[in-house]
Structures are given as structure tokens and as C-alpha cells.
Amino acid sequence: MKILCVGRNYSEHIKELQNEVPENPVIFIKPDNAVLRPGYDFYYPDFSKDIHYELELIVKINNTGKHILPQFAHKYYDEIALGIDFTARDLQNDLKKKGLPWELAKGFDMSAAIGDFVNKSKFEDLQKIEFTLYKNGEKKQLGNTADMIYKIDELIAFMSQYFMFKKGDIVFTGTPAGVGPVQIGDKLEGYIFDQKNLEVLIK
């Protein structure tokens, strides 16, 4: 399986990192070894001194598809969850400055924490989902999928022009504002509305 991700999909987050609003979605991939399954701890890697959390709504692909039209994209996923796109911000800033690819900063082992997948039929409107990240009990990110620049179905359609989706692939749909660093000993918790969906301890 592969993990397809979008950067810069919420305008408040674009502002906080002083990035430009992109003309097309900014897409990157994490390999399958990036997955950190529910119940597992995140181990702070030696190569970074500035690991950031980015809480995102994620979608699990349930079928093979290429050149998917936006109006049919909803047929390619049944389940959603929260995920954390762990980012080595120090490496990423360095790579960005040099115009180099982001893999080392974004695709390292355990960099894609995933929560418990929930059937999408539990939600009235997938583009009106509120989600919250708490770090050590303190609210750090509050997002709403209504604020996405590229909606879930548009993202899937765009990505599928370049990458054939297969069953089990995961799409990270971008993070809202409020990203920040983690330290060893931190506890991260993600909520969809008032339901806890994800918990990660930093070791």
C-alpha cells in the first residue's frame, strides 16, 4: 500500500508556514513503512530536533482506480479516520530552501500515525467534519473539513491522474493551522467531533 498526501490544503496553515497558495494540490507520498498503527508509540528519530505533528482527516481507498472523476470519487472509499503526518520540520525547511524533495522529512518510519477507521456513513457531510488535536490535554489544532481548499473527492480525482489507487491505500487530506513540535513524553490525542479517534505517545 501507499500513502498519498497533500500539503497546503488549508489557507490558515499556509499562512502560518509562510507558504504560497498553490496553483495545483501539492502532493507527496509516504511509503508503507511510514504507517504507525493504532496503539503503537512514536519513537523520536535521531536525525531531527524539530518533529511536528500535523493532524489530518484520512481516507482509506477500497478499490482500484485510475483517472477517477470527482463525481465518482466517493465510490472509492468507505472509511475515514484521523492521522498524524509527522514532519521533521528542520529537515523539511532545509530541503525546501534547496528545492529538494521532501521524502526524508515526511516519509520516514512511523511518520504516518493512523487512528481507528470509521464508516463514512456515520457522518452527514464529510466536508463538515470538525476535528481537534490535543497535546498533553491542551487543544492545539481545531480544523473543519469545510475549510479544505481541495475537497476530498477533488483530491482523489487529481491524485488518480498520476497514481493508480489500490485497495488499502490511504489519503492524507492536509492539516489545518496550529502545527507544532512534539517532545519525548508528549501525548497526542485526536478527536472527530467529540469522539476520540487517535492517541499517540512520543517515546
Distances in Å between the alpha carbon of 75 and those of 59, 65, 69? 12, 10, 10
- Residue with Cβ nearer Mg ion (141 or 160): 141
Express the helix, strand and coil content of the chain in percent, nearest 5 each.
25, 35, 40
C-alpha cell at 8: 497546503
- Residue with Cβ nearer Mg ion (21 or 194): 21
C-alpha cell at 21: 497558495
- Residue with Cβ nearer Mg ion (48 or 175): 175
Q: Which of 14, 36, 85, 131 binds Mg ion (CB under 5 A)?
A: 85
Q: Which of 8, 9, 54, 110 binds Mg ion (CB under 5 A)?
A: 54
- Residue with Cβ nearer Mg ion (175 or 197): 175
Residue type (1 letter), 144:
N
**Residue 153 lies near Mg ion (rule: CB under 5 A):** no
Residue 174 burial (CB < 10 Å; 0-12/13-18/19+)? buried
- Residue with Cβ nearer Mg ion (65 or 176): 176
Sheet holding 51-53, edge to edge: 87-88, 51-53, 180-181
**Cα separation, 22 vs 101, whole angstroms:** 16
SS3 label, residue 142: strand
- Residues contacting Mg ion: total by CB under 5 A: 3
Shortest spacing between CB 87 and Mg ion, in angstroms: 7
Choose the binding region for Mg ion from 77-85, 146-154, 180-188, 191-199 (rule: CB under 5 A): 77-85
For residues 163-182, which are near Mg ion according to CB under 5 A? Answer: 175
**Cα separation, 169 vs 136, whole angstroms:** 30
Contact positions vs Mg ion (CB under 5 A): 54, 85, 175
